[in-house]
Structure 1
Amino acid sequence: FNLSDVKGDKTGQLVFEEFLRSEYSEENLLFWLACENYKTIARETERVTAAKRIYAEFVQVDATRQINIDCVTREEISETLSQPGPNCFDRAQKLIYGLMENDCYPRFLKSEIYQVLLCTLTFRAHTNSTLGP
Structure 2
Amino acid sequence: MAIRSPAEEAVGWGESINKLLESKAGQMALTDFLKKEYSEENILFWLACEEYKKIPSSPERISAASKIYSEFVQVDAPKQINIDSETRKIIAANISTPDLNSFDKAQTLIYNLMARDSYPRFLKSEIYQAILKQS
Q: Tell me the TM-score normalized by structure 1.
A: 0.89
Compare relative contact order (CA 8 Å, sep 6+) and give the higher one, 1 or 2. 2
Pairing partner for 1:109 from 123, 128, 133:
123
Aligned pairs, how many?
121
- How far has the Cα of 1:92 moved from its partner? 0.1
- After superposition, residues 25-36 of structure 1 pair within 5 angstroms as 25-36=39-50
Q: Which runs of 4+ in 1 moved over 6 A?
A: none
- The share of aligned pairs that are identical, in percent, is 55
Consecutive unaligned residues of structure 2, counting only runs of 5 or more, are 1-13
The alignment yields a C-alpha RMSD, in angstroms, of 0.7
Please give the residue correspondences for 1:33-112 in structure 2 after superposition, counting only pairs within 5 Å. 33-112=47-126
- Aligned residue for 1:64, secondary structure, equals coil
Q: What per-residue deviation string (whole Å, max 9, x for no partner) do you get for residues 59-82 of structure 1?
A: 001101000000000000001111
TM superposition score normalised by structure 2: 0.88
Q: Partner of 2:23 in structure 1?
A: 9
5+ residue gaps, structure 1: 122-133
In structure 1, what is the equivalent of residue 36 of structure 2?
22
Question: Which digits, 9 at most, give the CA deviation of each residue in 1:86-127, with x for residues without a partner?
Answer: 000000000000000000000111111110011112xxxxxx
